[in-house]
A and B are shown apart, each in its own frame.
Chain A
């Protein structure tokens, strides 16, 4: 598949914080769906569209993201010609004198100049879906728009941040409302836009000239009066991760057959870093039901309505309900967990009971010993 476009993923979002989960890492690097990081979905979408050049803008806490992405080989983005570019902020001799203001944008300009693809697909990191961009890019080209934006009919269902679009009959964006208390429409931006590279360079240059340092999808949408923005609806399964609550509910949505089929079995693979774990072993007295379980686990207790990441040990007489247990966590005997999110490498000592509420899951940070 050929596409004359490159990708750009914004690894952070100023308005999205996931507490303990985003404390050690960028939004894009938060583990999701058992064996992935959130960014894997967007990267796979871009790669499955035929893009061979993808930039990732990471502003803060990007060590975990860099570990995950490596050379990009897991996504076939380890290429001599472009491939994966990690774009951290940089401090240069000019901006260090401006009180150390970090310059997101001038590094970007080089990236856009060096990658001579016609279009750029720019995406936030809080959406999870499985699709290619080929048709959207073609429709953008036909429309004659400056920018095209993807949306679906979620409204403000996932809470803030949300950009509600007012769209006329022909699909032109006439209004953009951020986090409106009473949305006039259910059309909610997916945070994915398509723009011609040359046009983007002009806009970014203008921003730099104005001393603007913030590069975001929302900033582009805000300019709907001066720019022609075309809206395109996405109708398949989409999950948004705007908060701990929606992280939790989006994970639980994966237990639904239709969601799982659409995200994982539509024929487009979702790539991630390979870990070479052993197969998961089930003991004789386990009780597992309605759960997604990854490689390298040992299951000897009861697990229901839960998501287990790779290398999780569930000891005998432990009960895990409605919970998300991340990589290499050890659940000792007799532990009871309900509505809990455990980050990586936690150890839960024998007999501990942790019970959260469905709307307010208990979140335990990375490496905790409880």
Chain B
């Protein structure tokens, strides 16, 4: 087979436990985002738009939804004869079997896959960031700088540097030191988790790391520091533009609101850099006489009879007459019955909010679902496939999840 210039590997195996019930049945990259996308659409579309044709997706946690969503990569134009999309789960080997133990170990376990393509470069990506980036430009820089590895970095506010892996660079952009979540940062260039490696270099590093019993087998913690230590040429590639890690409920909610409040920052209407997604095959959405829709995003199959303000609706959401939805994110197939009022709620697939339910940020107090560990600011989250009882009252910062029927949940059904 002809040599492949670059192979992309998307790390999509993480649980995303900070997203609570939203990742109970599916991996974080498969979580719906922005009215008609899944989080992973951004990374896959970036690959496609950058001209990358060979993509491996490493899955581990709850892979079913992600596997079926990605399929053969057709919606992203990644169903190639030369190249294509490959789902790479951990697998049993002769004599032993291993889960992916860390980001580096996950790639290590797929050395065979990468070798088959015989690439010059390998692009390591994570499947849980919202951004638009041309990896081809990054590769150009990587080649020009004769780097062993190039790491995409983003300037973050100095007040937030302690949340990121920070790169200290010299004037030419060569990385001198790397600090994971430093208390006193010397730079505000944060790693975006986007790496290009020369494949022979990475292959050697991965094998070496695998032998190291003390290693966590993580790119940020182990591989990068080790390469710096031995004096390899690691370059920082500066990215400017919208980038968001949607690892928490509040960042997921904010990122959804960003498409309403900052539509030009992550311009979804850019025809030169489309974000592709798997299509739900539903008709145009219907806005009834009784509907009031403002500052909102919605897509095919919605039926709106009530009031929707500053909200993001996914396909096939029904808002009945007299219902009011504000500052909320309603995932595919959700129904909000008449008289219900939702404020700052995230409702997962197909959940039915009963008549006259009141839920969300404007309701104070606590209930059995209050979860201040994962929730703040009054955001209220509903698991998928629930029927919420008529007239139920659910205070903000609740994570409504099924254990047994109670005064809030009437029943649960299969989605």
Contacts and interface: CB of A to CB of B under 8 A. Distances in A.
B286 A260 contact: yes
A280 B298 contact: yes
Given A276-B276, A286-B293, A291 B286 contact: yes
Given A279-B35, A279-B268, A280-B298, A290 B288 contact: yes
Nearest to B36: A279
Given A279-B268, A283-B295, A35 B288 contact: no
17 contacts: A33-B283, A34-B283, A34-B284, A35-B283, A260-B283, A269-B282, A279-B297, A279-B312, A282-B296, A288-B293, A289-B288, A290-B287, A292-B284, A292-B287, A293-B285, A295-B36, A308-B284
A212 B35 CA distance: 54
Nearest to A309: B284
Interface string A276-306: 1111111111101111111110100001000
Contacts of B276: 276
A286 B298 CA distance: 14
Contacts of A33: 283-284
A291 B275 contact: no
- The A interface is mostly helix, strand or loop, or mixed, namely loop
Instruction: Kindly state the interface size class of chain A when it binds its partner.
Output: 35 or more
A209 interface: no
Contact of B294 (A35, A73, A271, A282): A282
Given A34-B284, A274-B279, A290-B287, A280 B75 contact: no
Nearest to A308: B284
B116 interface: no
A292 B286 contact: yes
Contacts of B284: 33-35, 292-295, 307-308
B71 interface: no
A34 B274 CA distance: 20
Contacts of B312: 279
Contact of B283 (A277, A282, A292): A292
A27 interface: no
Interface of B: 34-36, 74-75, 259-260, 263, 268-269, 274-277, 279, 281-291, 293-300, 312
A271 B280 CA distance: 10
A119 to B, nearest CB: 27
A326 interface: no
A293 B34 contact: no
Given A35-B283, A264-B282, A290 B295 contact: no
A280 B295 CA distance: 10
A102 B283 CA distance: 38
B295 A293 contact: no
Nearest to B34: A279
A291 B287 contact: yes
The residue in A263, A281, A286, A290 that gathers the most chain B C-beta atoms within 10 A of its C-beta is: A281
Contacts of A289: 287-291
A356 B96 CA distance: 75
A270 interface: yes
Contacts of A280: 285, 297-299
A278 B259 CA distance: 10
A249 to B, nearest CB: 18
Contact of A264 (B283, B287, B299): B283
B74 to A, nearest CB: 8
A290 B289 contact: yes
Given A279-B36, A292-B285, 6 more contacts: A276-B275, A279-B34, A282-B296, A288-B293, A291-B286, A293-B286
Which 7 pairs between the two chains have the least Cβ-Cβ distance?
A: A279-B35, A34-B284, A278-B268, A264-B283, A294-B284, A279-B297, A292-B284
B36 A283 contact: no
A290 B263 CA distance: 26
A279 B293 contact: no
Contacts of B299: 279-280, 295
A104 B173 CA distance: 67
Interface string A188-215: 0000000000000000000000000000
A284 B295 contact: yes
A279 B294 contact: no
B44 to A, nearest CB: 12
B70 to A, nearest CB: 16
A278 B283 CA distance: 15
Interface in A234-267: 255, 260, 263-264
B278 to A, nearest CB: 9
Contacts of A255: 286
Contact of A281 (B263, B281, B283): B263
B298 A296 contact: no
